[in-house]
Structure 1
């Protein structure tokens, strides 16, 4: 029985437009053992499916935490009318011999009006370097053919095709953001203390005269504000997630990290917006 890719695509597109977006590939339709995962996107306010650890790192670092990104749609399907035509024109093998839709890992929109990109996330450092129409005259792997279809399809869509490599989503930066993301699980009571914590935190770090362990700062604030150490950590993470407090994400911040007078940057002008945003947020379990 012939597979009608056009019908499959149109059904997916209709469901995506009428209801909450769900990537063409998701936890229900595809599983790559322990490498795939779903997490709740704070930016998109829905579950997001990452097919690999690198995708998850890229989504969190470069999309979730990037203020320039207004929205993104993972596992985005390319219309078969484009991908099949390109495959035929250039003599390429379509995905699974034309029996499956070609997807890109993410369609990303930026705050610049009408500016969007296709992101292709692959861990191989070199696989993207030579993806061009010139490859059509050579023997290509299936992956190279798929990437070439992605790239040429992006031109038909009028968007840029951006290769994402392992180095574009550093593990240390992800580890820091993973900790900050956990701040979204702060309780309602903790969220009511954002202002108190911020004022006490600012006083504490401006009074630093010599390097001090991060955990010692947290313990002092716990006593001062009569909050548990867990609450202190979540409130800090929540303020850092909202960029009211900033620090270098290129160095892992852990309890034993030595804090210098210039380790943190604080932005009082962002506090009120953060408080209002968090007050209106529905309570749920945020997980990566």
Structure 2
């Protein structure tokens, strides 16, 4: 098992400080053992690498990034100062998590996600902890209590998300589309060029009665692109919601005639 990197060292590195591209997660995937498969994912909302310690965290990030109201996501967020969680644990008669060392020093606890939302009226943060329902033991609930009270005293909405609250079809769809969000970067195209391509693509799409296969084949020929490039462009358009579809239904076979698309 990997040893947890020194919390003191993380604090010196300004882990868990800042917002947007300047934020650095308190824990990175190479530093700890994770439940399930850990992953590093380039963000849609914020252009930085996200460190996710399980597939469940990854799927939650995918679904959260799809929401228009979400403007920032900070993962592996530290509950600092540590003295606050230590005090809460004492108040409730709970054992504070310890570093697995002979000195048994208390660790800096973390929350999986701090999500910044702009609902059109105000900007606010909410906090979500991700855990498989099968892993929520009595001891885990004790840790949750410490975490809950830490955020409650700051008047911030906190909650637990299990696999039961995650739309896995939606997450699978977004995982299928994910890399194509960055298609314009690979093509080095400006926004005006993308808009012109989209309008031409949509015109052909309509004339082909929204037949994806016929449209992408035609568009490849019209643009002089390699076979399949128009399909990548189509996925890009879905990622950016220029072309809309029901993301809660399986769209991993885009040529399925039963999938509806609209502008």
Report the TM-score, using the length of structure 2 for normalisation: 0.81
- Report the counterpart of residue 230 of structure 2 in structure 1: 232
What is the aligned counterpart of 1:156 among 139, 153, 156?
Answer: 153
Q: Distance in 2 between matches of 1:246 and 1:117?
A: 27
Given that 1:58 and 1:168 are in contact with CA atoms closer than 8 Å, whether structure 2 keeps it comes out as: no
For 1:172, what is the secondary structure of its paired residue?
Answer: helix
1:190 CA displacement: 6.2
For 2:133, what is the secondary structure of its paired residue?
Answer: coil
Q: Distance in 2 between matches of 1:230 and 1:95?
A: 51
1:152 CA displacement: 1.0
Aligned CA-pair RMSD: 2.9
1:111 aligns with 2:118: yes
Q: After the TM superposition, list the runs of 4 or more consecutive aligned residues in structure 1 that deviate by more than 6 angstroms.
A: none
Q: Which has the higher contact order (CA 8 A, sep 6+)?
A: 1
1:17 CA displacement: 4.3
1:170 CA displacement: 2.1
1:47 CA displacement: 0.7
Closer/same/farther in 2, CA of residues 172 and 41 from structure 1, 3 Å limit:
same
What is the aligned counterpart of 1:179 among 160, 172, 176?
Answer: 176
Q: Distance in 2 between matches of 1:118 and 1:33?
A: 20
Q: Structure 1 stretches of 5 or more lacking a match? A: 128-139, 267-288
- Report the counterpart of residue 271 of structure 1 in structure 2: none
Q: Distance in 2 between matches of 1:53 and 1:203?
A: 39
- Report the counterpart of residue 100 of structure 1 in structure 2: 107
Name whichever structure is richer in helix by fraction: 1
Residue correspondence of structure 1 range 197-236 to structure 2 within 5 A: 197-208=197-208, 212=211, 214-236=212-234
Q: Distance in 1 between matches of 2:241 and 2:177?
A: 10
Given that 1:87 and 1:149 are in contact with CA atoms closer than 8 Å, whether structure 2 keeps it comes out as: yes
Q: Distance in 2 between matches of 1:65 and 1:256?
A: 22
Given that 1:36 and 1:51 are in contact with CA atoms closer than 8 Å, whether structure 2 keeps it comes out as: yes
For 1:258, what is the secondary structure of its paired residue?
Answer: coil
1:255 CA displacement: 4.0
Q: Structure 2 stretches of 5 or more lacking a match? A: 1-5, 99-103
For 1:31, what is the secondary structure of its paired residue?
Answer: coil
Report the TM-score, using the length of structure 1 for normalisation: 0.74
Given that 2:220 and 2:230 are in contact with CA atoms closer than 8 Å, whether structure 1 keeps it comes out as: yes
1:258 CA displacement: 1.1
For 1:25, what is the secondary structure of its paired residue?
Answer: coil
Closer/same/farther in 2, CA of residues 196 and 77 from structure 1, 3 Å limit:
same
Q: Distance in 1 between matches of 2:193 and 2:18?
A: 39
| 1:197-235 deviation per Cα after TM superposition (whole angstroms, max 9, x unaligned) | 3223322333355x84x3333222222332223321221
- Report the counterpart of residue 188 of structure 1 in structure 2: 187
Q: Distance in 2 between matches of 1:169 and 1:198?
A: 32
Count of residues in Structure 1 that have an aligned counterpart in Structure 2? 245
Closer/same/farther in 2, CA of residues 165 and 235 from structure 1, 3 Å limit:
same
1:20 aligns with 2:22: yes
1:10 CA displacement: 4.4
Given that 1:125 and 1:166 are in contact with CA atoms closer than 8 Å, whether structure 2 keeps it comes out as: no
